[in-house]
């Protein structure tokens, strides 16, 4: 029970919001919750799923608060990068030839395998396909962040991030009806790291000049440098 559920104070710290505001959100049904022994409790699995759906729609300020809350929950320094350590040259591509949603996901998983950190490629592919069947991970503006619904602790040796651009934009279920050409596949070993990576990625990808540069470059090295620089800029703004 202690591991499966969080109380209001624990979730408020995780989200970086005021306890009273979270209590009101729970009472209005804006966040999944339930009563346990007369107290409001939050199921960790339900909260993970809810946050994954909420993050892309959050404002810059709210997303920054969540990022900070997750970092504090994980006892990280304010200037600690979490995306930069995941960027590996073998998992970054400026040109994928995939033309369908399924083939994109297969190529992304194949790149993850090239890191040597993926134990179960079939399991990861099945998990991301299932996630897309439930709800597309595509975002407005031609972006997508494919990921499993749950962390996969037995599938990866370390957290993985794959960054790739397709030669031609494809239909990926974007809420704005547009096509998608930039993909960021992520998989973690625990829910806190999983959510933190998603929050930081969403913050990084809110910067349109970065998106334009990622589309313009033909260099794998430049793509990595651009993302690293943007994460550094975000962190310097919060100090």
In a domain, 62, yes or no: no
In a domain, 119, yes or no: yes
CA geometry: angle at 67 spanning 183 and 84, to 5°?
50
Domain that holds residue 42: 5-57
Judgement on whether residues 52 and 157 belong to the same structural domain of the protein: no
Section 152-181 average pLDDT? 95
Alpha helices by DSSP H, listed for the chain, are: 8-15, 19-27, 44-54, 60-73, 101-113, 121-134, 191-205, 208-216, 220-238
In a domain, 63, yes or no: no
* Distance between CA atoms of residues 127 and 130, nearest Å: 5
pLDDT digits (tens, 9 = 90+) for 36-50: 888 899 987 788 878
Judgement on whether residues 214 and 129 belong to the same structural domain of the protein: yes
Judgement on whether residues 42 and 88 belong to the same structural domain of the protein: no
CATH of the domain at 176: 3.40.930.10
Q: How confident is the model at residue 1 (pLDDT cuts 50, 70, 90)?
A: very low
Domain count, the chain: 2
Judgement on whether residues 161 and 109 belong to the same structural domain of the protein: yes
**Which residue in the list 147, 194, 196, 225 is annotated as catalytic?**
147
pLDDT digits (tens, 9 = 90+) for 40-84: 999 877 888 788 788 888 888 888 888 988 898 888 998 999 999
Q: Is 194 in the active site?
A: no
Query: pTM value?
Result: 0.89
Judgement on whether residues 39 and 126 belong to the same structural domain of the protein: no
Judgement on whether residues 52 and 100 belong to the same structural domain of the protein: no
Judgement on whether residues 149 and 38 belong to the same structural domain of the protein: no
Dihedrals phi, psi of 14, to nearest 5 degrees: -60, -40
Judgement on whether residues 49 and 115 belong to the same structural domain of the protein: no
In a domain, 193, yes or no: yes
* Distance between CA atoms of residues 69 and 72, nearest Å: 5
Judgement on whether residues 22 and 121 belong to the same structural domain of the protein: no
């Amino acid at each position: 029970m202690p591991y499966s559920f969080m109380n209001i104070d624990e979730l408020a710290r995780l989200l970086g919001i005021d306890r009273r505001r979270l209590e009101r959100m729970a009472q209005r049904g804006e966040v999944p919750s339930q009563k346990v022994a007369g107290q409001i409790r939050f199921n960790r699995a339900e909260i993970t799923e809810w946050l994954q759906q909420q993050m892309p729609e959050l404002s810059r300020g709210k997303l920054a608060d969540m990022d900070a809350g997750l970092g504090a929950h994980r006892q990280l320094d304010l200037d600690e990068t979490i995306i930069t350590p995941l960027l590996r040259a073998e998992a970054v591509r400026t040109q994928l030839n995939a033309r369908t949603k399924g083939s994109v996901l297969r190529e992304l998983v194949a790149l993850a395998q090239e890191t040597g950190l993926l134990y179960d490629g079939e399991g990861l592919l099945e998990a991301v396909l299932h996630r897309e069947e439930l709800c597309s991970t595509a975002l407005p503006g031609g972006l997508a962040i494919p990921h499993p619904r749950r962390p996969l602790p037995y599938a990866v040796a370390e957290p993985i991030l794959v960054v790739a651009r397709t030669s031609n934009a494809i239909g990926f279920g974007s809420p704005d009806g547009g096509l998608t050409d930039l993909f960021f596949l992520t998989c973690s070993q625990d829910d806190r790291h999983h959510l933190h990576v998603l929050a930081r990625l969403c913050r990084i990808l809110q910067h349109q000049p970065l998106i334009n540069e990622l589309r313009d470059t033909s260099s794998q090295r430049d793509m990595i440098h651009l993302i690293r620089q943007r994460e550094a800029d975000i962190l310097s703004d919060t100090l």
